[in-house]
């Protein structure tokens, strides 16, 4: 008895062949020349007349044959697809991570949905913002965010100073150099806040998503290993259509 994964593997080839056969049959029955034949003989008016050889063209395509061939190739497609779809109604598996069943009796279609969603979730989690590792962060309950320890810095102001190089005399004025000096006039206290996440948290979330992705794939493989019952629906359909 075949299994669902074997039917799935065969289905694509059957679809391709059926489409090609149907297309070829459709094109053939549109070619009048292939459907037409003739037989022509010549009889001279009298015995002295010129004899000409007979002419004939055989019919190369018969519409009934095209119908029969189309029914045969599509019957195979209808049966394979029916076998897959009927099996999908019963093929189910549990999604289990670390011994914990998260989804029980999931059908294949839902497992395929989960796989796609988890790809998007993995991208989302991987791009989550991470706290700057160059800072030391602690949880601030009052703002429900992360904060750094306060850092105190000086605020300075430039103040002009005079340096007397030589005192004034009766003959010469004083020689004075003017310079600036940075004088502390206050203090800044800086505390940084962030809504990002610790790297460990992001890595843990990524690991969980990847574990679930693996579990869903295992479940899908298990469900696809379900034995199938061959369905024979195509014959009845085409017996009605082309009777």
Q: Taking each helix axis from N to C terminus, what angle separates 108-126 and 199-224, rounded to the nearest 10 degrees?
A: 160
Q: Taking each helix axis from N to C terminus, what angle separates 234-241 and 63-88, rounded to the nearest 10 degrees?
A: 150
Across the chain, mean pLDDT equals 91
Q: How many helices (H) and strands (E) does the chain have?
A: 6, 9
The answer to whether residue 169 scores a pLDDT higher than 80 is no
Q: How far apart are CA 17 and CA 96, in angstroms?
A: 39
Q: How far apart are CA 70 and CA 64, in angstroms?
A: 10
pLDDT band of residue 167 (cuts 50, 70, 90) is: confident
The answer to whether residue 213 scores a pLDDT higher than 90 is yes
In this predicted structure, what is the pLDDT of residue 191? 94
Q: How far apart are CA 155 and CA 238, in angstroms?
A: 91
Cα angle 216, 217, 222 (rounded to 5 degrees) comes to: 95
The answer to whether residue 1 scores a pLDDT higher than 90 is no
pLDDT band of residue 195 (cuts 50, 70, 90) is: very high
Q: How far apart are CA 233 and CA 79, in angstroms?
A: 6
Least confident of 114-118, 159-163, 204-208: 159-163
Q: How far apart are CA 142 and CA 152, in angstroms?
A: 21
The answer to whether residue 28 scores a pLDDT higher than 90 is no
Cβ-Cβ contacts under 8 Å for 14 (sequence gap 6 or more) = 76, 77, 80
Q: What is the pLDDT of residues 29-82, one digit of tens each?
A: 898 888 889 899 988 888 888 888 998 988 888 889 999 999 999 999 999 999
In this predicted structure, what is the pLDDT of residue 48? 80
């Amino acid at each position: 008895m075949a299994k669902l994964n074997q039917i799935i593997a065969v289905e694509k080839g059957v679809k391709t062949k059926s489409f090609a056969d149907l297309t070829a049959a459709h094109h053939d029955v549109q070619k009048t020349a292939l459907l037409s034949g003739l037989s022509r003989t010549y009889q001279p008016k009298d015995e002295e007349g010129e004899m000409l050889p007979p002419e004939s063209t055989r019919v190369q395509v018969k519409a009934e044959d095209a119908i029969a061939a189309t029914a045969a190739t599509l019957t195979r497609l209808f049966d394979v697809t029916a076998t897959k779809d009927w099996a999908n109604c019963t093929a189910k598996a549990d999604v289990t991570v670390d011994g914990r069943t998260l989804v029980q009796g999931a059908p294949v279609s839902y497992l395929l949905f989960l796989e796609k969603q988890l790809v998007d979730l993995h991208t989302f989690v991987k791009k989550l913002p991470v706290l700057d590792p160059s800072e030391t962060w602690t949880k601030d309950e009052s703002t429900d965010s992360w904060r750094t320890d306060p850092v105190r810095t000086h605020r300075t102001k430039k103040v002009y100073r005079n340096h007397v190089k030589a005192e004034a005399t009766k003959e010469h004025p004083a020689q004075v150099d003017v310079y600036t000096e940075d004088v502390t006039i206050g203090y800044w206290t800086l505390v940084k806040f962030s809504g990002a996440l610790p790297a460990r948290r992001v890595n843990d979330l990524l690991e969980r998503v990847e574990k679930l992705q693996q579990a869903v794939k295992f479940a899908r493989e298990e469900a696809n290993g379900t034995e199938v019952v061959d369905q024979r629906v195509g014959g009845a359909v085409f017996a009605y259509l082309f009777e």
